[in-house]
């Protein structure tokens, strides 16, 4: 696809008998069932007043993910998954967010139409609207699940999209492909009442941070009648002690173990047809702690996919 560029991440050599995930993702696979694609944009974060730097996230996640091993506990099924997965590189972003959303939407639509599940590495959370456009362009209706400290249904700013507006844009999109919005992890001090009203008016469901446990997340995963479920994870939902390198750090955020288990459950859910992770900001990370968490999130999602 012309919108894509290779990531340029090199694969470190490993000892015989100790292959790493990058070994499989670097192989030529012309008929994958799963793909990894990066969206190196933080234009929406800048418009929303956040800390710039998320544009560097896709390759920072790859760097950590490529070094990881397949699950030693479920080795055969994980390797079988990797043999059907390909890293197709990054969407070539221009800095014009509206055009870049269209580019990501075209890429995602192409994969959805082929029955290929995309794993998208953002980028700011503006990634989610480009992600959604893949469904709109392929004329596929979907519910949306978001794990996030913020509801991200803010109005546009001077008619322009940003990292706080993707789900308002999706729910109001002329395609009517956004069926239901489900969000968990919300911080009560970071969500306006008008945002909750908007979610209610669109028959959505939400859970605040103190209500967000594995039972609640499992319930939201199944609280829709759509045949497809688009999933998006915003790293600012995680407590800043475990995820310092994000665009908007979160005091009293979710614990990493709940976050990772949620990613695994998303992978296991057969209605999940796409996934993105957003808001890693390497400029503010500490010893690549957050990049490692982001990569491990993808790893857990992959583990879930391998067990479908």
Tokens of 62: 């790859």
- Is residue 273 a contact partner of residue 45, using CB atoms and an 8 Å limit? no
Quote the pLDDT of residue 12. 56
Quote the pLDDT of residue 9. 75
Secondary element (H or E) of residue 206: strand 205-208
Q: What percent of the chain has pLDDT over 90?
A: 91
- For residues 235-259, give the mean pLDDT: 97
Check pLDDT > 70 for residue 283.
yes
- For residues 30-48, give the mean pLDDT: 96
- For residues 72-83, give the mean pLDDT: 97
Cβ of 17: how many Cβ atoms within 10 Å? 5
Quote the pLDDT of residue 83. 96
Quote the pLDDT of residue 185. 98
pLDDT band for position 6 (cuts 50, 70, 90): confident
Quote the pLDDT of residue 14. 62
Q: Where are the domains of the chain?
A: 24-306
- Is residue 17 a contact partner of residue 72, using CB atoms and an 8 Å limit? no
Quote the pLDDT of residue 75. 97
Tokens of 190: 């970071």
Tens digit of each residue's pLDDT (9 = 90 or more) over 111-154? 999 999 999 999 999 999 999 999 999 999 999 999 999 999 99
Quote the pLDDT of residue 226. 92
Fold of 24-306: 3.40.800
For the chain, the first-to-last Cα distance in angstroms comes to 28
Check pLDDT > 70 for residue 13.
no
Quote the pLDDT of residue 10. 66
Quote the pLDDT of residue 78. 98
**274: Cβ–Cβ under 8 A, 6 or more apart, which residues?**
108, 112, 117, 118, 119, 120, 131, 134, 230, 231
Task: Report how far apart, in Å, the C-alpha atoms of 116 and of each of 17, 119, 184 are.
Answer: 30, 10, 26
pLDDT band for position 225 (cuts 50, 70, 90): confident
Tens digit of each residue's pLDDT (9 = 90 or more) over 182-200? 999 999 999 999 999 999 9
Mean pLDDT score of the chain: 95
Quote the pLDDT of residue 15. 62
Quote the pLDDT of residue 112. 98
8 vs 200, more confident: 200
Check pLDDT > 90 for residue 239.
yes
pLDDT band for position 221 (cuts 50, 70, 90): very high
Quote the pLDDT of residue 11. 60
């Amino acid at each position: 696809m012309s919108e894509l560029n290779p990531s340029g991440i090199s694969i470190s050599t490993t000892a015989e008998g100790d292959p790493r995930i990058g070994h499989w993702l670097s192989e030529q696979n012309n008929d994958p069932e799963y793909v990894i694609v990066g969206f190196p944009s933080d234009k929406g974060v800048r418009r929303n007043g956040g800390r710039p730097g998320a544009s560097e996230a896709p390759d920072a996640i790859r760097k950590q993910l490529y070094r990881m091993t397949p699950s030693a506990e479920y080795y055969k099924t994980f390797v079988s998954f990797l043999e059907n997965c390909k890293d197709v590189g990054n969407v070539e972003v221009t800095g014009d967010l509206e055009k870049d959303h269209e580019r990501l939407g075209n890429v995602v639509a192409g994969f959805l139409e082929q029955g290929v599940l995309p794993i998208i590495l953002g980028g700011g959370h503006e990634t989610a609207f480009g992600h959604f456009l893949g469904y709109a362009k392929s004329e596929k209706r979907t519910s949306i699940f978001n794990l996030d400290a913020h509801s991200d249904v803010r109005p546009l700013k001077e008619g322009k999209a940003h990292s706080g507006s993707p789900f308002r844009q999706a729910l109001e999109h002329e395609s009517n492909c956004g069926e239901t919005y489900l969000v968990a992890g919300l911080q009560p001090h970071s969500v306006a009442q008008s945002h909750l009203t908007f979610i209610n008016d669109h028959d959505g469901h939400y859970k605040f941070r103190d209500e967000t446990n594995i039972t609640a997340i499992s319930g939201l995963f199944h609280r829709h009648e759509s045949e497809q479920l688009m999933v998006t994870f915003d790293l600012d939902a995680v407590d800043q002690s475990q995820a310092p390198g994000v665009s908007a750090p979160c005091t009293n955020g979710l614990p990493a173990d709940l976050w990772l288990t949620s990613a695994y459950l998303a992978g296991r859910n057969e209605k999940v047809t796409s996934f993105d992770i957003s808001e890693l900001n390497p400029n503010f990370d500490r010893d690549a702690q957050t990049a490692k968490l982001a990569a491990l999130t993808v790893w857990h999602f992959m583990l879930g996919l391998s067990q479908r």
